[in-house]
Amino acid sequence: MLIIKDIVNLQAYLKTYKLNNEKIGFVPTMGGLHEGHGNLIKSSQENNDKTIVSIFLNPKQFNNIEDLKRYPVNKGDDYDYCLKNKIDIIFEPNEYEIYPLNYKLIKNNFFQNILCDKFRPGHFDGVVSVVSELFKIIEPSNAYFGYKDYQQFKIIDQLAKKKFSKIIIKGVETVRDETGLAFSTRNNLLNSNSKEIYSKFIFNMKNFINSLDSGLEISTANNLVRDFIKDTNTGIGKFDYHEFRSDSDLSLKGTINDSRFFLAFYLNSTRLIDNFKID
């Protein structure tokens, strides 16, 4: 496994791979690797000759500086995780490799003013900017994004179709632990009580959603969900959103059998997101 921190050296290795007609899979991360990332890595390795993992804590996608400061980072653990999972290259650039002096952020133009884009102003500008730079540097055959942040996946898929047509975006299912929690780097910020509240809430929420008629209109289902959460002692401090949206275009049109249920909420000061389809 190679750990490369600069673009010139990375591209020298990538040039050799491409001359040998080797397919390159790319898994972008901000570190804090876990089994969710492991599933992305596995998907890449099953369909490519080489797998590159980037580790770059992107400051441009944080609209709250305290959130950036609290983000869990442990490089040693990340290196060990990549070594165990037989990664070919870790690309770990510094901020100046990605954002040269006077760099101008790219504006996100997809799936705006809904879900996380509504509640985290500028967040997806930072996401599309860093992903665009990484795509230009690596030029992978395939790039892997988890469905846990489904809005991000949809945005990057549209970005690639418009600006990086040679790169195929692959979505990968969310991985959960035995209690139902979606693996997330931010879970490291939760104490045992918060994790129990989260797990119980997701369990009850899923049971309620699966009790709904799959032919319900999204608008009707969202009213029922709002009443259910209002009448239930969830233990959640604050919600940004809890709603069904169309799986294909994230609109509020259609029925819930072709939708996902999206959540963003706070446990203490930690913001968490999740989504799932009806079983």
243, 220 contact by CB (below 8 A): no
- CA of residue 225 relative to chain centroid, distance: 24
Place of tokens 């233990």: 235
* Residue from 248, 265, 266 nearest 257 by CA: 248
d(CA 30, CA 158): 21
Closest to 249 in 3D by CA, of 146, 131, 115, 145: 115
Question: Looking at 34, 37, 123, 242, which residue is catalytic?
Answer: 37
Closest CA to 149 of 70, 267, 239, 264: 264
37 given a catalytic annotation = yes
**In whole angstroms, what is the distance from residue 236 CA to residue 268 CA?**
8
Q: How far apart are the first and last CA of the chain?
A: 39
Distance CA 89, CA 11 (A): 11
CA distance 96 to 75: 19
Query: Catalytic site residues?
Result: 37
